[in-house]
Chain A
Amino acid sequence: MKNKNNLGESLNNAMRSLWNNKVVVMFVVLCVFGIATSGKSVSHTVTEVFTRFGRNAFLVLALIIPVLAGLGLNFGIVVGAIAAQIAIFWVVSWGFTGVTGLLMCVLICTPLAILFGWLVGKLYNKTKGSEMITGMILAYFADGLYQFLFLFLIGGVIPVNNPTLIINGGVGVKNTIDLTGNIKYALDTISMLSIIQVLYIILAVITAAKLISRLVKKRELHLKSLLLRFAAATVVFALTFVPAVQTFLGQDRLLLLNAVELACLGAALFAVYLLLKGMVGEKKPFAQCYKRPVALAIVAGIVYALTYVTAIFQILIAVSLPVCTYLLIAVICFFNRWILSTKLGQDMRTVGQSRTVANSAGINVDKTRIIATCISTVLASWGQLIYLQNLGTFQTYGAHSMVGQYAIASLLVGGASVQKANNKQAILGVVLFHTLFVVAPLSASNLFGSALIGEYFRVFICYGVIALSLAMHAWKVIAKKKEEKAQSDAAPAES
C-alpha cells in the first residue's frame, strides 16, 4: 500500500519535472529524431557539435549575468561582438599574428566593450522594463554605426593602405576578411604545456605579491601554507619535464577519450578526498560520510567502463577538443558562479528580483545594472573573438548580426527563462541547439530531398524558440497574478 503510494508520488514528481522542462524535453526529442534521420554517422554529428560548442558556448554564457540582474535577455551583446570585430580589423591590418595578435585583440576590444557596455547600461536604465526590445533595436542601430565606420570612415577618413582588406577604390572594408595565417586557431592551438607554464608563472607572481603585501602591511605571514601551495605547484610543474608527459601535454588538442579518462580519474581522486575530509577533517564516522564519495566513484567507474563499448569508443576517438578554449569556457562558468557569491552578485540578484526593495536597502540600482551590462558586453566581445578565431573567416558585415538571436535561442532551449538562467542551462542549451542546427538540413534533404526545408526549419526554430519563451514568460506572469489573487482572497476567509 505504502509502496504504491510512493510509486505514484514519484511518478507524479517525474511528470511534473518533465512538464516544467517541457522546452528541453521537446528539443531532446527533436534532436534524437534529427540524428536518426540525418543519414550521417553519429560520430560526424558529435564532432560537429563539439566544434560548434567551443565556438559558441562563451557567447551564451555571457548572457547569464544580465538575466540575474533583471535585465532580461541581453540582445545588446551584439555591441560587444562589434567591439571584438573592430579590434580584429585593426590587429589584422597592423599585421599581428598568432597569440600576440589575439592578445592585442583582447587589449583593444576590452576597453571598447567596457565603454559600449556602459553606454548600453545607461540606455537600459532609461528604459527600465523594456530592456529586451531596446537591446534588439539597439543592435540594429549599432549595426548602422558599424557599417558607417567600416564602409565609409575606414579608407574614407582614416587612411588604411592595405589592398587585402580595403575595397579596390580605397574606401571601405572588403566583405570578407580571411583570418588564416594571422589569428585563425590562435587560441585553439595553445598547447597544454604552455597553459601550465603560464599558470605556474601567475601563481609565482601571486605568491610573491601576497608575501610582499603582508610584509608591508605587517600582518601575519601564513608562510607555511603559502610555501606549501607553491611547492605542490612546483612538483606538478616538474612532472611536465618527464618526456612522456611532455609529449602528451605538448599537444593542443585533447582526444575526447583522454578527456573522459582524465575526468574519471579526477572524480575518483575527488571521492577519496571527500572521504578523507569527512573522516579525518571533520572526524565523522564512515557511515555518515560515505554516500557521496561512493556514489561519485561508482558513476566514474560506470562512465569509464562505457568507454570500452565499441560504438562509444568510435565516437570518443573521433573528437578532439581544443584545450585552451574549453578551459576558458570552464573558467567563465566558475566566474559566473563566483560573482554570485560576492557582494556585487548579491546586489545584482536583489536588483533583479525587486528594484524597489534594492533601492530602499540602499543599493545603487542604476550602477549595479550598468556593471552587469558591462560584464556581459565584455564577455560577449571575448566570445566573439573565440568564435571568429575558430571560424577563420570574418564576414565583415554579417558576423555580428545573428549573434544575439542565436545565443539567446541557445540559452532558452536549455530551459532558461527571462528571469532565470544558470551555467547548466546555457551548456545544455548550446549542445541541443547546435545539434539541431547540424542535423536539421541533413535530415531534411534526406527526408524531403531538399536541404532548403531544413534551412527554413533552422530559422524557424531560432525565432520560434525566442517567441515561445517570451510568450510563456508573459503567461507565467499572468498565472502568478491569478494565484496571488486567489491567495489574498483566501487569507481573510481563514481568519
Chain B
Amino acid sequence: MSAARVLKNGGRAAALPVALIVLAQVAATVTQLESDSLASPADIAMAFVSVMGDGTLLKATADTLKAAAAGCLLGVGAGSLLGIVLGLFRIADDALDLTIELLRPVPVVALIPVVMMLLGFGAEMEIVIIALGMLWPSVVLARAAVKEVEPRLMEVSNVLQLGFAARVWKIVLPAILPQLFMSLKLAAGYALVVAVTVEITANPLGLGYGIMMAQQALRPAEMFAYLIWIGAVGWLISVLLNAAQRTFFPAFVNGEGR
C-alpha cells in the first residue's frame, strides 16, 4: 500500500471518533455542562492526567492485568492439558463429553458468589474465577486441535513406534501450537473482560473497582477517563497479541479476521 493510501484510510478511520469528540466538547461548552453523569472531553482528559499522575490508575491497571494474566495462564494451561488428553483418548472424551457439555454453559459470573464465599475478597478469588472462565473454552479448542492433527502424522508416529511422551512432545504439541496460541489470544481478551466484571461486581480491586468508585462518588469525568483507559488497555492487548500471532504463526493468520 502506498503512503498516500495509508494516509487516506487512516484519515477516514479517524474522522468519526474525532468528529464525535469535537461535537461532545462543543456541546459541553455551549450548554455549560454541569452533570453527575456526563463530562466534557476536556474534563475527561484532565481527570485522566490527575489519576495517572497520582499513580492510582497505574496501580489499578497493574492489579487488573496481574489477575487477568494469572487467571488466563492457569485456566488456559489446565484447560489445554485436559483438552489434549481428551483429544488423544477417545474413551476419556466419550466419558467426559456429557459432563463437560452440562458444565460449560454455566455463566462464569454465577461462580462469583461461590468463590467469594470460599476465598473472600482479593486477587486470589479473582484469579480463580478468571481461570474457571477460561477453562472450558480452552478444553474445547485444544481437544478440537488434537483431533485435527493430520492423521498421517499419527500414522508416522505409529510406524516409528514412538512412546506416549514422545508422541505428545514431538508430534502433537508442535502440531497444535498455533491453535494453542490462538486459544491463549482469545482467552487474554476474555480474561480482561472477566477481571473487570468481577471487580465491578464484587472485588474491591483494580480498574473495575476504580470506575465503579468514580461513578459512586459522582465524578463522571474520572469515570469516563477510566472507561476510555480500560478500552485502550483492551485494545492494546488485542493489537499486541495479533502482532505476536502474525510474527510467530504467519501461516495461521490467513483467512481469519478481515
Pair from one complex: no
